[in-house]
Homo-oligomer: A and B are copies of this chain.
Amino acid sequence: MEPCPIKMLAFDVFGTVVDWRSSVIAEGEELGKTKSINIDWAAFADAWRAIYRPYMDKVQNGELRWTKLDDLHRMMLAETLKKFDIQTLSDDEKEHFNRVWHRLKPWPDSVPGLQRLKSRFVITTLSNGNVSLLTNMAKHAGLPWDCILSAENVHRYKPAPEVYLLAPQLFDLKPEQVMMVATHEHDLKAARKHGLRTAFVHRPLEHGPGKKSEIAPTEPYDFVAKDFCDLAQQLGT
């Protein structure tokens, strides 16, 4: 037995657990049919997501006071609708479409992989998504989290240290007993900086088809996995 075994796995969610892009495209296309809006919904999804970091930065740098991700998504949606010159959605339709982020579909291995990992570890979200978004998503997609931890708990977005340290602090663990699982290297690098262990998971389709081949990460991490089932295998669950 290693001296300081991993007790808890903390997961990035958008891209790592759920396929945000295809989910937003699918709902966009449905909405487009209903409302006769003929645009490239893949381009729309990419444009909506492209301003994710800039909007969170407005909170980080104090330009906006603490604003939960649902409300940032709503502002980002308004900007994206304007960009695509879509003016025919009612407030209720916009509100419903904005909550597509509560209804994102998991990658095929996410639920079975998490079920296996849950048998040995405490599994939690550690996401910039707000608590209700993550809870509703889990309910919708059948994600078997042990608990929901969010940037909203500390009113700071990743990569703020408070978010990464939330898991060890709440669970009386050393940072190295918690492993961050993500497909984004910037997230893993920040987690490692604060003492967490790291697992990189390949998600070559996050930004769409045509990138099926797995590109090796630029730095070494404690684990590198093809998907959650592979990670479970490597962790002996």
Interchain CB contact (< 8 A) of A131 among B70, B132, B139, B170: B170
Interface of A is mostly: helix
Interface residue? A92 (CB, 8 A)? no
Q: Which of A31-39, A147-155, A194-202, A212-220 contacts B (4 or more CB under 8 A)?
A: A147-155
Query: Can you name 16 A-B pairs with beta carbons within 8 Å?
Result: A118-B139, A122-B136, A122-B139, A130-B170, A131-B147, A131-B170, A131-B171, A132-B170, A132-B171, A134-B147, A135-B146, A135-B147, A139-B146, A147-B147, A148-B148, A152-B170
By a CB distance below 8 angstroms, the chain B residues around A130 are 170
Residues in chain A within 8 A of chain B (CB atoms): 70, 118, 122, 124, 130-132, 134-136, 138-139, 146-148, 152-153, 170-172
By a CB distance below 8 angstroms, the chain B residues around A152 are 170
Chain B residue at minimum C-beta to C-beta distance from A130: B170
CB of B172 within 8 A of CB of A132, answer: yes
